[in-house]
Amino acid sequence: MESQEIEVIKLLEENGRMNVEEIAEILALPKERVEEIIRKLEDEGVILKYKAIIDWEKVQEDFVYALINVKVSLTREKGYDDVAKRIAKFPEVHAVRLVSGEYDFQVVVKGKSLKDVAFFVAEKISTIPEVRDTVTHFVLRTYKEEGVNLFEDEEDRRLAFVP
């Protein structure tokens, strides 16, 4: 990919709300060129979506997140992709990743309560024929999300003037 495109991606990954004009100024590119790059990235599905990173613990309506380790047995007919897609299509499922190590998938499930999540796993994931075993870990607190620290940042302690 072109370096100009990479530069645009980096800026938007850091701040999805940065507008075209600012991006153009920062990268010293014409505005039209930036618009063209963003359109191309969106069309090609490189940029999938613009969304906010929320610290849900600060919101009254709390959610429960669980990390679920899923072991599967594959058959000639059903590979990893097939099983993953079946799991991913549930709206309760936040993320699905194929991982190395003792289990096959790490699935992140978002629910309203512990019970909610536990039942969802029991009824919808464990019952998929290829799923052999699941282990559920409830998230108690999140300290960092998408590269953003969810604790108070260090303050700027610099003097106002330094030659």
Partner 1 sequence: MKKTGGLPLSRRVAKKVEELKPSGIRRFFDLVAGRDDVISLGVGEPDFPVPWRIREEMIYSLEKGFTSYTSNLGLPELREGIAEYYTRFGVRALPEQILITTGVSEGVDLAVRTLIEQGDVALVPEPCYVSYKPLVEICGGEVVTIPTVPDFKLTYEVLVEYADTKAKILVLNYPANPTGVSYSKKELEEIADAVNEMDMVVLSDEIYAELTYTGRHVSIASLNGMEDKVVVLNGFSKAFAMTGMRVGYVIAPPDILTGMLKIHQYCMLCAPITGQIGAIEALKSLDEVDRMRAEYMRRRNFVVKKLSEVFELRKPEGAFYAFPKISSSGMSSEEFAEGLLMKKNVAVVPGNAFGECGEGYIRMAYAVKFEKLKEAIERIIEFVDEYGKG
Residue ranges that bind partner 1, judged by CB under 8 A: 10-11, 22, 25-28, 154, 156, 158-163
- Write the CA distances from 28 to 15, 17, 21, 31, 33, integer angstroms: 18, 18, 10, 9, 10
Query: What is the residue whose two structure tokens read 């992709």?
Result: 81
Least Cβ distance, residue 62 to partner 1 (angstroms): 29
Q: Which two tokens stand for residue 117?
A: 């999540």
Q: Coil, strand or helix: which one is 157?
A: coil
Between residues 27 and 67, which has the closer beta carbon with respect to partner 1?
27
- Write the CA distances from 108 to 10, 57, 89, 96, integer angstroms: 26, 17, 13, 6
Least Cβ distance, residue 15 to partner 1 (angstroms): 8
Least Cβ distance, residue 79 to partner 1 (angstroms): 37
Between residues 28 and 140, which has the closer beta carbon with respect to partner 1?
28
Do 104 and 70 meet the contact criterion of CB atoms below 8 Å apart? yes
Q: Which two tokens stand for residue 31?
A: 């505005």
Least Cβ distance, residue 73 to partner 1 (angstroms): 42
* Distance, CA of 143 to CA of 124 (rounded, Å): 29
Between residues 30 and 79, which has the closer beta carbon with respect to partner 1?
30
Between residues 101 and 161, which has the closer beta carbon with respect to partner 1?
161
Between residues 34 and 64, which has the closer beta carbon with respect to partner 1?
34
Do 111 and 120 meet the contact criterion of CB atoms below 8 Å apart? yes
Least Cβ distance, residue 50 to partner 1 (angstroms): 18
